[in-house]
Amino acid sequence: MRKTPLAATIAALAFTTTFALADEPKRGGTIDTIIQPEPPGLVLGMVQNDPTRKVAGNIYEGLLRYSTDLEPIPQLAESWEVSDDGLTYTFHLREGVLWHDGEPFTADDVVFSADVFHRELNPSARAVLQHVESIEATDDHTVVFTLAEPFGPFLISFEAGTFTMVPKHIYEGTDFRDNEANNHPIGTGPFKFGSWDRGTVIQLVRNEDYYEEGLPYLDGVNWHIIPDGASRAVAFENGTVDVLPNGTVENFDIPRLSAMENACITDEGNEYFSPFAMLWMNNREGPTADKRFRQAVMYAMNREFARDVLWNGMGQVPLSAFGSNAKFRHDGLEPYDYDPDRARQLLDEMGYDGEEVRLLPLPYGETWNRWAEAVQQNLREVGVNVRTVATDVGGWNQRLGDWDFDLAFTYLYQYGDPALGITRSYRSDNIEKGSPWNNVEGYENARIDELFDEAATAYPEEEREALYHEAQEILHEDVPVGWLLELGFPTIYRCDVKDLITSSVGINDAFRDAWLDR
Amino acid sequence: MLYARLIVMRLLKAVVVLFLIVILNFVLIQLAPGDPAAIMAGEAGATDEEFLRQLRERFGLDQPLYVQLWRYVSGIAMLDFGWSYRQGMPVLDLILARLPATLLLTGTAFVLSLALGILAGSMAAARVKKPSGSLIMALALIFYATPLFWVALMAVVLFSVYLDWLPAYGMYTVGAGHTGLALVLDIAKHLVLPATTLALFFMAIYTRMTRASMLEASQQDYVKTARAKGLAPRVIQRRHILRNALLPIITLAGLQAGQMVGGAILTETVFAWPGIGRLMFEALQQRDYNLLLGIFFFSAALVIVFNIITDLVYRLADPRIKGAS
């Protein structure tokens, strides 16, 4: 049906990419693309939301990048060693790297970024840094991280958006958030900040002194700011922009746009974040506090339908709490297939009395509203009395932060390792009001806490697997949340834009290698 | 002299009204659900207690409400509108940066709708029982009743996608590097669709209102007198009927002018016009309260200013009002 043409396009794309690699890249040209919504600021490390990562990921860099199969590859660190006990990580930095203002990048910048800047400002980096005992620069180009105990995901935490390298000579001794330089970000990346005409465009220009010989190929990147979804689609249709990063246009526009002549579509470049759509279920009170109700919800939802109709057949229906490219995934679990009869049976067993259940859609556009309608209908078919509660982003945040919901849509990033992305939704020490990203559902299980604690610090890697498998079996049975879909977030672009997606963070550092075959 | 006194009196009253508006806005906004720190933390995709505490402390959200209100009001007295939580810039800078774009758009739409509306309305009044008059009124009814965003989208489909005559969005061609006259022409080209879209609705209202009040005025005795003394119909139409029919139009124009700062949210969103309306909408969604309060303040000030101007224009159009207040 609808799946076929897209799948065909993707196959065709895979074919063209292999071809493109054989071509000699061409220098020059500017790419026009879209950033949605307008980012609040461009200093990565100070702001880590998605639009900031997309734009500033081309200005700033981290120690490592990650390939599309999540293997670390050199960025500012040329090579690295891990001691046998898993406690000491030594990074050898690239020489001859300059900040955009001409100052040299050294080991002192790394120590400052990690030990001072991120410890103060960055909650995601803080979560990793709590395992780090000391960070030392042993010479200008060597940095040694010493851990208090082994931490499995340590090597995958150095992605530029989370663990950004910021210039010490600009920030040291200042109030970071009030620093004048925040309006003119200075990184080491392939593009320099050009200008930002608020509400209209952010322009990046080529870094002539970039350390990779010949890179980048482009003269610049213009990030257009267009608040209306239909207008963004028009901008691609009439040729004003060449690249539509993931999440830029509504899903129902995707088949039309990707079918245009000279339009290519790819699902690659989401591997690091692997956005995972979930249904929060309030474990504290109401029918959702009963495990059988939550299992019934899993059986009642037709997740394949949602993927095929609302998400154009892209993405994967997850088996359980660990996504399909998550490490240590347990394949042996019995899937929660679409089975309304089983759902009804479970509801009977628990004696569900028709108590009203409030469902909060994610206020991120039309697709999510329709998805909520589909789930509402699925649940009504098995006899659950569902009422949808509409909110805007602010209201959604507030309700989740105050635990004022029964069912709620969300999606979460997985960050390449269960200890970084997955376990935060289930650990009981992560239950805290005020955030929509922690253990919002209120699931408490001492065994799970124990397993996740052990697994994060077990060493070497093989030790972790058995622990995570046991945890997955428990979660699969308890269904603390509903596992909806591993989202396919496609990027649409003109086929003559080559080598666009080269790492697992996709568009966030895409323009480093991209070139125009024109 | 009389005018000067009147203006001073009105301005003094305006300051009091504005002060009350500031307090009212501040209180109203506290009633909205959603805490700015939690929203910013939510947007960041990751958060911990420390992060929320830092944000609250930084923006003074940890202080009691009356302290926040006092700080805000005393800030405004010094023309300090505070700091935008989300954008990390002074509110005044943000507003002033967006103001010219909005004024250009709404100002153009204002002039366009007023001029064309009065023209179409007087034409319709002069052709009251003819098909051409009915056609004008039918069109006015359609534009009056059609939702603005739909007109905007259809205009984009027709003029940008199919005909490719006009740019679909933005204020200038990004990356073209136009300067001087070329830039002016470029902006003018980008202005056509949004300004027309915005103007259509008001144009329809002016048309209907002009026609109605002109028809009413034409029944008056002084019009009969004018006809009886043999004046040309054109002169009667312009000097006796139109001028007397102008008062309700001026009232409406005053209202429209008052909306010039915040009245173009939809148009600015659809056409990606970098104006205040969009800024306001985004500030609302992000619970960027200081920014929102700042925009409210400017909108309120503009409404007050245009009310004063409207009153003055009344006096010009109708000398009888002079003694009244």
What are the pLDDT digits (tens) for A54-66?
A: 999 999 999 999 9
Which residue pairs from A354-357 have beta carbons closer than 8 angstroms and sit at least 24 positions apart in sequence?
A: A354/A383, A354/A385, A355/A286, A355/A287, A355/A385, A356/A385, A356/A386, A356/A387, A357/A286, A357/A287, A357/A288, A357/A384, A357/A385, A357/A386, A357/A387, A357/A406, A357/A407
How far is residue B180 from each of residues A197, A203, B177, B186, B191, measured CA to CA in Å? 18, 21, 10, 10, 17
Question: Do residues B108 and B191 touch, judged by C-beta distance below 8 A?
Answer: yes
User: Does B155 touch chain A if contact means CB atoms closer than 8 Å?
Assistant: no
CA distance A393 to chain B (A): 7
Domain B97-174+181-324 has CATH 1.10.10.10: no
What type of residue sits at position B240? H
Residue B207 has pLDDT above 60, yes or no: yes
A495 vs B168, higher pLDDT = A495
Q: What is the pLDDT of residue A460?
A: 81
Residue B86 scores a pLDDT above 50: yes
Distance from CA of B57 to the nearest CA of A (A): 13
Q: Is the pLDDT of residue B54 over 50?
A: yes
Q: For residue range A365-402, what is the model confidence (pLDDT) as tens digits? A: 888 999 999 999 999 999 999 999 988 887 888 888 88
The per-residue pLDDT for range A331-340, each reduced to its tens digit, is 999 999 999 9
pLDDT band for position A2 (cuts 50, 70, 90): very low
According to CATH, where is 1.10.3720.10 located in chain B?
97-174+181-324
Helices (H), B174-264: 180-218, 221-228, 233-235, 243-258
**CB-CB neighbours of A48 under 10 Å:** 22
Q: How confident is the model at residue B322 (pLDDT cuts 50, 70, 90)?
A: low
C-beta separation of A478 from A281 below 8 A: no
Domain A275-486, what fold?
A: Dipeptide-binding Protein; domain 3 (3.10.105)
Rg (CA), chain A: 23
pLDDT in tens, A107-134: 999 999 999 999 888 888 888 898 999 9
Distance CA(A124)–CA(A126), nearest Å, equals: 5
pLDDT of residue A177: 82
- Residues 17-46 of chain B whose Cβ lies under 8 A from any Cβ of chain A: 32-35, 38-46
Contacts of A289 (CB under 8 A, 6+ apart): A282, A283
Q: Where are the domains of chain A?
A: 60-183, 275-486
Which of B49, B160, B275 lies at the smallest CB-CB distance from A432?
A: B49
Which residue out of B31, B35, B43, B84 would a mutagenesis test of the A interface target, given it has the greatest number of A Cβ atoms within 10 Å? B43
User: CB distance from A30 to chain B under 8 Å?
Assistant: yes
Identify which has the larger pLDDT, A310 or B79. A310
Place of tokens 């969300």: A410
Q: Which of A33, A219, A228 to mutate to test the interface with B (most CBs of B within 10 A)?
A: A228
Across chain A, mean pLDDT equals: 89
Complex prediction ipTM: 0.84
pLDDT at A20 over 50: no
Q: Which of B174, B279, B287 to mutate to test the interface with A (most CBs of A within 10 A)?
A: B174
Tell me if chain B has a CB within 8 Å of the CB of A140. no
Confidence of residue B161 (pLDDT cuts 50, 70, 90): confident
- B206: tokens are 């002016």
Cis peptide before A37 (omega within 30 of 0): yes
Residue A7: what pLDDT? 44
Contact B33 A401 (CB under 8 A): no
Model pLDDT, residue B46: 66
Cross-chain residue pair A200–B169, CB shorter than 8 Å:
no
> Looking at the predicted structure, is the pLDDT value of residue A15 above 50?
no
Closest C-alpha among A225, A219, A217 to residue A241: A225
Predicted pLDDT at B267: 87
Chain B contact present for A387, CB below 8 A:
no
Task: Kindly tell me if the per-residue pLDDT of B121 is higher than 60.
Answer: yes
Max avg pLDDT among A34-43, A344-353, B21-30: A344-353
Taking the Cβ of residue B279 and every Cβ of chain A, the question of whether any pair is shorter than 8 Å is answered with: yes
Residue in B49, B153, B174 nearest the CB of A201:
B174
Q: How close B67 gets to chain A, by Cα (Å)?
A: 23
Q: Does residue A216 have a cis bond before it (omega within 30 degrees)?
A: yes
- On whether the A60-183 domain is CATH 3.90.76.10, my answer is yes
More confident residue, B320 or A166: A166
Q: What percent of chain A has pLDDT over 70?
A: 96
Q: Is a pLDDT exceeding 70 seen at residue A1?
A: no
DSSP bridge pairs for A134: A146
Amino acid at A376: Q
Q: Do B164 and A225 make contact, defined as CB atoms within 8 angstroms?
A: no
User: Side chain identity at B105, as an amino acid letter?
Assistant: L
Q: A278-309 pLDDT, tens per residue?
A: 999 999 999 999 999 999 999 999 999 999 99
| pLDDT for residue A376 | 95
User: Does residue B31 have a pLDDT over 60?
Assistant: yes
Q: Residue B88 above 80 pLDDT?
A: no
More confident residue, B68 or A445: A445
pLDDT at A5 over 60: no
Q: What's the pLDDT band for A11 if we cut at 50, 70, 90?
A: very low
Closest CA to A490 of A183, A156, A253: A253
Whether residue A18 is predicted with pLDDT greater than 70 in this model: the reply is no
